[in-house]
Amino acid sequence: MKITEVEAIYLKIPDLDATKCDGTQDTLLIRIHTDEGITGVGEVDSVPLVAKAAIDAPPSHSIATGLRSLLIGENPLEVERLWEKMYKGTIYFGRTGPAVHAISGIDMALWDIIGKRAGVPVSEAVGGTYHKKLKAYASSLMPDTIEEAAALAERYAGQGYKAMKFGWGPIGRSARFDEEQIRVIRETVGPDIDVMIDAGLAWDLKGALRMAEVYEKYGVFWLEEPLHPDNLAGYRELADRTSLYIAGGEQESGCLAFRRLLDEGHLDIIQPDLGRCGGITEGRRIAHLAHERHKKVVPHAFKTGVLVAASTHFAASIPEGFLIEHTVSVSPLTRDLVPEPIVFKDGYVHVPDRPGLGVTVDEEVIEKYRVK
């Protein structure tokens, strides 16, 4: 079996506000074609055109080579060898950041091919399915008003979600406003629904410590990325001084970064994004780090149904998998790119038993939003 083509397809919804931290306004879709007619799909969570350049660029020299050039003619089933080949081939301009982001989407598509070729879902192909279903949390940007926050919380509870997360937006502008937001959300959903807060790098250590005390009062399950990702000393002190779970890692790529978060930052929950961290292959290595340290893993997945599917298979295939991010964005890319998304019912997503990632992409949606 040989790879015949690697497509990096830039999709973008026109006229959206790129200043908002919403990753659903554009994406980089990966398609890998083979000589046996099997096509794998993946997704990159990055600046799409930067990651696309890392794929499409012609070779410069042996350790500065575009990923497409490295893969044409290769056997897609040799996924771990190809991961190392891509990592070494981009080491001059990579090792982390956009080059590893690009590797992530390609790796995802390779696993889709492996599952399709074997006739099994990816969760089985990577070693076994620990969980047939996973609790899903509604993931939303924090709205600008308390009334909107209450309305969204009520809506998600009414849709059957047993957990929900609100992030970024106005968080960090006013401690009084932040407390009123969480108070109203908790009053709206009651005590039995898990509520998480993604602070979006809002505070320094002392600000985060003050808000952690507030969130403790309202039973927040985890506090995500309250500090800058480089502030490992701050994370260590915060995690050691609060009863909240401290979560983070969506900004990171590769095992080394996650080892630092766990060992130096003392994070309780790590959140590798499979479209950014190095794909399913590196994601599983990262999960092993957490497993050794008895820490939790919840993949970040604020994109389209392709990334949601990959993240579901990943979480289902690791012992620590217990929760999955479920984007509730109404973006056309999130809603329409995958016409048969992962099934959500009664608060849980059900792991597909179809071969590969178990999803297809809509060609009409691709052509509608493709930037040529």
pLDDT number for residue 149: 97
- pLDDT higher than threshold 80 for residue 18: no
Could you give the angle at which helices 279-292 and 97-118 cross, rounded to 10 degrees?
100
Q: Boundaries of CATH 3.20.20.120 in the chain?
A: 125-362
Euclidean distance between CA atoms 16 and 38, whole angstroms: 34
349 has which bridge partners? 134, 344
Euclidean distance between CA atoms 278 and 237, whole angstroms: 28
Predicted confidence band at 16 (pLDDT cuts at 50, 70, 90)?
confident
pLDDT digits (tens, 9 = 90+) for 291-313: 999 999 999 999 999 999 999 99
Euclidean distance between CA atoms 122 and 112, whole angstroms: 7
Strands, E, within 127-263: which ranges? 133-141, 163-167, 194-198, 222-224, 245-248
pLDDT number for residue 122: 98
Could you give the angle at which helices 175-189 and 205-217 cross, rounded to 10 degrees?
30
300 has which bridge partners? 273
> 30 near 105, Cβ under 8 Å?
yes
Residue 206, judged by CB atoms within 10 A of its CB (0-12, 13-18, 19+), counts as exposed
- 3-120 is classed CATH 3.30.750.24: no
Q: Boundaries of CATH 3.30.390.10 in the chain?
A: 3-120
Euclidean distance between CA atoms 304 and 334, whole angstroms: 4
* Mean pLDDT along residues 68-83: 98
Euclidean distance between CA atoms 99 and 76, whole angstroms: 19
Of 355, 372, 371, 360, give the one whose Cα is nearest residue 116.
355
What order of strands is seen across the sheet that includes strand 3-12?
Answer: 3-12, 26-34, 39-44
3-state helix, strand, coil in the chain (%, to 5): 40, 20, 40
Size of the chain in residues:
372
Alpha-carbon dihedral 150, 155, 158, 163, rounded to 10 degrees? -70
* Alpha carbon distance, N-terminus to C-terminus of the chain: 30
* Mean pLDDT along residues 263-277: 98
The answer to whether the Cα torsion of 229, 53, 34, 23 is positive or negative is: positive
- Candidate ranges 15-29, 99-113, 329-343; pick with highest mean pLDDT: 99-113
- pLDDT higher than threshold 80 for residue 20: no
pLDDT digits (tens, 9 = 90+) for 133-154: 999 999 999 999 999 999 999 9
pLDDT digits (tens, 9 = 90+) for 239-263: 999 999 999 999 999 999 999 999 9
Q: Please, what's the b/e burial string for 262-289 (b: 16 or more CB within 10 A of its CB; e: otherwise)?
A: beebbbbbbbbbbbbbbbbbbbbbbbeb
Return the amino acid letter for 292.
E
Of 50, 103, 20, give the one whose Cα is nearest residue 95.
103
- pLDDT higher than threshold 90 for residue 120: yes
* Top CATH class, 125-362: alpha beta
pLDDT number for residue 362: 97
Predicted confidence band at 372 (pLDDT cuts at 50, 70, 90)?
confident
Of 299, 303, 292, give the one whose Cα is nearest residue 272.
299
